[in-house]
Amino acid sequence: MATLKDTLEARGRDLRESVTNAGFTVSLLLQSLRLFFVDLRHRRRFILDQLAVCGISPLPVVCVVGLFTGMLLALQIGMELSRLGQSEAISNMIGLILFREMGPFMTAMILTASVGSAMAAELGTMRVSEEIDALECMSINTTSFLVMPRIVAMTIMTPLLTFIGCILGCVGGGLVANTQLSVSPAVYARNLLASLQAEPNQLGPLPEEIYTGLIKAAIFGALIATISCATGLKASGGAIGVGRAVRSAVVRCFLMLIIIGYYISWIFFR
- C-beta closer to another protein: residue 116 or 174: 116
d(CA 99, CA 208) in angstroms, rounded, equals 10
User: Are the C-beta atoms of 129 and 31 separated by less than 8 Å?
Assistant: no
Which is nearest to 29 in space by CA: 155, 127, 207, 166? 155
CB of 115 to another protein, least distance (A): 15
- C-beta closer to another protein: residue 135 or 164: 135
Spatial CB neighbours of 29, under 8 Å, sequence gap ≥ 6: 151, 222, 226
Neighbours of 46 (CB within 10 A): 18
Phi-psi sector, 184: left (phi>0), alpha (psi -120 to 50), beta = beta
d(CA 256, CA 219) in angstroms, rounded, equals 11
- C-beta closer to another protein: residue 101 or 131: 131
Interface residues toward another protein, by CB under 8 A: 42, 126, 129-131, 133-140, 145
- C-beta closer to another protein: residue 80 or 130: 130
CB of 236 to another protein, least distance (A): 12
- Map residue 52 onto helix, strand or coil: helix
- C-beta closer to another protein: residue 42 or 190: 42
User: Are the C-beta atoms of 56 and 153 separated by less than 8 Å?
Assistant: no
- C-beta closer to another protein: residue 152 or 168: 152
CB of 252 to another protein, least distance (A): 25
CB of 70 to another protein, least distance (A): 36
CB of 2 to another protein, least distance (A): 19
Cα 142 off chain centre by: 23
